Amino acid sequence: MSLKLYNTLTRTKEAFEPIDPAHVRMYVCGPTVYDFAHIGNARPVIVFDVLFRLLRHIYGADHVTYVRNITDVDDKINARAMRDFPGVPPVEAIRTLTETTYGQFQADVAALGCLEPSETPRATEHVETMVALIERLIARGYAYEAEGHALFHVPAMPAYGALARRSLDDMIAGARVDVAPYKRDPMDFVLWKPSSADEPGWPSPWGRGRPGWHIECSAMSLATLIEPFGGGFACDDPLKNTFDIHGGGIDLVFPHHENEIAQTCCALGTPQMARVWMHNGFLQVEGEKMSKSLGNFVTIHELLADWPGEVLRFNMLKTHYRQPIDWTVRGMEESWRVLDDWYAATADAGPGTVAPTVVEALSDDLNTPKAVAELHGLRSDPAALAGALRLLGFLADTPAEWAARRPAASVDAAAVERLIQARLAARKARNFAEGDRIRDELAAMGVSLKDGKDSATGEPVTTWEVKR
C-alpha cells in the first residue's frame, strides 16, 4: 500500500514520494507564542503528529525530519511583552514572554500525546538567515528597499498565486490590501520593517528593524530542511532546494504560504519550495465560530483540567483533518466512553503489531475516521488493538492511571469497600432487597458496580468505579 496525500497545490490526492527516498522532510507552521494556545491551534499539532508517526512507521524513525517552528517575533508578542515587562529591553522582554508561553505550549501538546518534533527552531535565532534571504531577493531583482523597509515585488514573480489559485486581478478586485506610499505595487509585501527604539530590532543593511511574518518560515525551512541536505544559497540544483511536505492551517494558504513560496523559490531559484502542501480545516465550538467576544474561546490548558489529553486527541482524530470540526462537550464525552472501552479491552494486551488495515486507512490521506472504524473492528483482538492505538499516539497511561483520570470527587474508598462487602454478605444470604438497597446507596454516591466471579475460586467479586 502506498501513501497518498492531498496536495493543496494540485487540489488532488497524490502518491507521496520523498525527494530522498530514504529521508522525509516535513515543515509545519508552529505557534505564535504570546498566550495559551486554543483548541483550534491544537488541530494542526495533532494532525501532523499523526502524519509524523505514520511516516516514521513507513520510513523508519531515523528517516524522518519534522520541523515545527516557533514564532517568537510578532507585533502581538511585542505588545504583550511591553505590557508585561515595562522597562525591560525589548528583545529580552519578548524572550522572557516567549520562553514562558512556549513552555506552556509544550506541556499542552505533550498532554495531547504529541511527539516532540525533530527540531523546533525559533524565529529570533534565524534573523541572519532572513537578512541573507532578503539580500538575495534584492540582488536578484525580486525585492527592493524603501524607507527602511524591504519589500517583495509581487509582479516580479509570474507564478505568484499558484497555491491559493488566485490571480493578481482577483486580489485587486478584493481591494483589501494595505496601500502604503512606499510600495511599488499594492500587492507587494513586507520582508523587513523598521523598529522604533521600544520595539525589538536587529541590525540589517536597511537599518535596525524586524522581519515581516512570512520570511521566518522561508529562513527556518532553509536552515533546517534544505541546507543540511545539500541545498542552499550556493546550490543551483532546484531539487536540492526543495523539501517534501509543508503543513499548516487552511487559513495560512493565503497570504502566508503563498508568500513563503515566493520568497524561497525566487531566492533559491527553484520552482517548488515544498512538493506537497497540506492544510487542516477549521474548528468551531458548539456550532459557533470560536471568538473571544462570543466567550467560547477555549484553550487547551482549560480543557486539560477536565478532560484527559487523549480524549481531546481522539475527539480531534474522529474527523478527517480537512473537514470542519464542531468541537462539543457531547463529542468529548463520547470520545471518553470509547477510550474507556479500549483501555479496558487492552488492559492485558502485550505489545501488538500494527494492523495493516489501520496503516492502510492512514495512508489514504490520513483517513483517521476510517482508521477509527478499523480500530473498532479490532475490538476482539487486544494485542492488535493496542498496537494500532499506540501507533496513533494513544495508551500512554496504564489502565490504572487511565481509570484514575475520572474525577474521584469525594468518594471515600474505604466506605465503598465496606458497603460492597456488606452487599456481598447480604447476597450470599439471599437477602437481595438489602443488597439492592446498598447498590442504590452507592449509585447515589456516583459509584457503579460491576459484578463478576473470581476465575479461580468461583466466588463472587465486585469491582467499582466512579461514574460522572
Partner RNA sequence: GGCCACGUGGCGGAGUGGUUACGCAGCGGAUUGCAAAUCCGUCUACGGGGGUUCGAUUCCCUCCGUGGCCUCCA
Residue numbers 276-305 binding RNA by CB under 7 A: 280-284, 288-290
Burial zone of 239 (CB within 10 Å; 0-12 exposed, 13-18 middle, 19+ buried): middle
Q: Does position 347 bind RNA by CB under 7 A?
A: no
Question: Is the CB of 105 or the CB of 243 nearer to RNA?
Answer: 105
The amino acid sitting at 250 is: I
Q: How far apart are CA 416 and CA 442, in angstroms?
A: 7
Q: How far is the CB of 229 from RNA (least distance, A)?
A: 25
**Contacts with 249 (C-beta within 8 Å, 6 or more apart), sequence order:** 29, 40, 43, 44, 279, 280, 282
Element (H or E) spanning 411, and its range?
Answer: none
Q: How far is the CB of 398 from RNA (least distance, A)?
A: 19
Question: Is the CB of 32 or the CB of 270 nearer to RNA?
Answer: 32
Which of 115, 111, 122, 119 lies closest to 33 in space, CA to CA? 122
3-state secondary structure of 284: strand
Neighbours of 173 (CB within 10 A): 9
Among the candidate windows 79-87, 115-123, 315-323, 406-414, which touches RNA by CB under 7 A?
A: 315-323
Question: Interface residues for RNA in 125-154 (CB under 7 A)?
Answer: none
Question: Is the CB of 164 or the CB of 239 nearer to RNA?
Answer: 164
Measured CA angle at 266 (ends 263, 271), to 5 deg: 110
Among 178, 234, 414, 444, binds RNA (CB under 7 A): 178
Binding residues for RNA, total number by CB under 7 A = 76
Binding characters for RNA, 206-245, by CB under 7 A (x = yes): -------x--------------------------------
Question: Is the CB of 59 or the CB of 297 nearer to RNA?
Answer: 297
Q: Following DSSP, what letter does each residue of 178-195 receive, concatenated?
A: ---TT-SSTT-EEEEEE-
Q: How far is the CB of 269 from RNA (least distance, A)?
A: 26
Question: Is the CB of 157 or the CB of 177 nearer to RNA?
Answer: 177
Binding characters for RNA, 356-395, by CB under 7 A (x = yes): --------x--x-xx-xx--xx-xx---------------
Q: Following DSSP, what letter does each residue of 11-28 receive, concatenated?
A: TEEEE---SBTTBEEEEE
Question: Is the CB of 99 or the CB of 326 nearer to RNA?
Answer: 326
- In sequence order, the β-bridge partners of residue 283 are 325
Q: How far is the CB of 72 from RNA (least distance, A)?
A: 12
Q: How far is the CB of 80 from RNA (least distance, A)?
A: 12
Among 91, 168, 253, 304, binds RNA (CB under 7 A): 253
Q: How far is the CB of 276 from RNA (least distance, A)?
A: 16
Q: Does position 164 bind RNA by CB under 7 A?
A: yes
DSSP state of 122: B
Q: How far apart are CA 67 and CA 351, in angstroms?
A: 29
Burial call 261-300: b when 16+ CB within 10 Å, e when fewer: bbbbbbbbebebbbbbbbbbbebebeeeebeeeeeeebbb
Among the candidate windows 197-205, 227-235, 275-283, 407-415, which touches RNA by CB under 7 A?
A: 275-283
The amino acid sitting at 306 is: D
C-alpha cell at 403: 481509570
Q: How far is the CB of 239 from RNA (least distance, A)?
A: 28
HEC string for 340-352: HHHHHHCCCCCCC
Question: Is the CB of 42 or the CB of 241 nearer to RNA?
Answer: 42
Which of 277, 282, 304, 278 lies closest to 113 in space, CA to CA? 304
Q: How far is the CB of 218 from RNA (least distance, A)?
A: 14
In contact, 54 and 3? CB cutoff 8 Å:
yes
Q: Does position 161 bind RNA by CB under 7 A?
A: no
3-state secondary structure of 447: strand
Question: Interface residues for RNA in 35-94 (CB under 7 A)?
Answer: 38, 40-41, 43-44, 71, 74, 76
Among the candidate windows 90-98, 100-108, 128-136, 250-258, which touches RNA by CB under 7 A?
A: 250-258
Question: Interface residues for RNA in 397-456 (CB under 7 A)?
Answer: 427, 432, 435-436, 439, 448-452
Among 18, 117, 249, 309, binds RNA (CB under 7 A): 249
Question: Interface residues for RNA in 321-340 (CB under 7 A)?
Answer: 323-326, 328, 330-331, 334, 337-338
Among 177, 304, 347, 383, binds RNA (CB under 7 A): 177
Give the Å distances, CA to CA, from 315 to 3, 309, 350, 468. 24, 10, 25, 19
Q: Does position 171 bind RNA by CB under 7 A?
A: yes
In contact, 450 and 465? CB cutoff 8 Å:
yes
Q: How far is the CB of 458 from RNA (least distance, A)?
A: 12
The amino acid sitting at 337 is: R
Question: Is the CB of 139 or the CB of 443 nearer to RNA?
Answer: 443
Question: Is the CB of 212 or the CB of 393 nearer to RNA?
Answer: 212
Q: How far apart are CA 66 and CA 247, in angstroms?
A: 11
